Amino acid sequence: MFTGSLVALITPFENGAVDEAAFRSFVDWQIEEGTDGLVPCGTTGESPTLSHEEHMRVVELCIEAAAGRVPVIAGAGSNSTREAVMLSEHAQKAGADAVLVVTPYYNKPTQEGLYRHYKAIHDAAEIPIIIYNIPGRSIVDMTVETMARLAELPRIVGVKDATNDLARPMRTRLACGPDFCILSGEDATAVQLLAGDGQGCISVTANVAPRMCADMQRAWGERDLKTVMDLQLRLMPLHDAMFCETSPGPVKYAASLLGKCSPEARLPICEIAETSKQRVRAAMQSAGLLN
């Protein structure tokens, strides 16, 4: 259903407010550069510090700017099931193609609690749902067994896997079946996930290197492994630099170097350190993105 290079979009700010013009322009640039899908209001989009009104507006802006050219998978996660339902229902009404729902952070629900959380969203909103499993940020790890239970529901269609467990995609495929969409949530291991029968990557790096990320995914589809490895090796320092501090601090600074938006983030994410700025700049130069 969803394949290739999908970008976990940053949310540009200017003087504390969402910079709508910069966001629209950024969406256009992403599509022009070959990005296969757009993911607004995920963690990279600073969803935890967006108000509900801002969150919904950014989703609407993304859908309007995309204008049907590529799929839009709207972030709709929350550690409150009611809030996740509300955001999913809004995304459906706004015209999103799917929602991305992170496992509830801080609450640490049981596996049964996880199942009921996603089933409640599934039953309330008639929109495809992609599970976002990222134990490093949410603490809880959805097991393959729980995911297989959820995959039996018709609108639970896939997973963004950020476990860094390279055996997980194959186990997920065996448990969830051939039609379940498996997407990487880690740029550095995106190729390994493809080799484990994945379909693509929801990428942070694609915010600043959309063409290379898309070309790498397409080269995999063509089984041009030399191009895949050449591009991934070229991108690897950039993948690492994007997480030299807590995301999205580094990627917003990187986007500012390209003139795409200000580096402004919302507290508790703050301006990255000078040493980190030097590392980000050097990685972008190494990738050929800056002179």
The two structure tokens encoding residue 140: 């809880």
Catalytic residues, which ones? Answer: 132, 160
Q: What sign for the dihedral angle of Cα 38, 39, 44, 45?
A: positive
- For 127, 144, 275, the CA distances from 149, given in Å and listed in that order, are 18, 9, 46
Q: In terms of Cα–Cα distance, which of 54, 128, 51, 57 is closest to 88? A: 128
> How is residue 72 annotated by DSSP?
B
Q: Is 74 helix (H, G, I), strand (E, B) or coil?
A: strand
> How is residue 271 annotated by DSSP?
P
Q: In terms of Cα–Cα distance, which of 56, 127, 57, 131 is closest to 98? A: 127
> How is residue 15 annotated by DSSP?
T
Q: Hey, what long-range contacts does 135-138 have (CB within 8 A, 24 or more apart)? A: 135/103, 135/162, 135/163, 136/162, 136/164, 137/43, 137/102, 137/105, 137/162, 138/102, 138/103, 138/104, 138/105, 138/106
* AA identity, residue 288: G
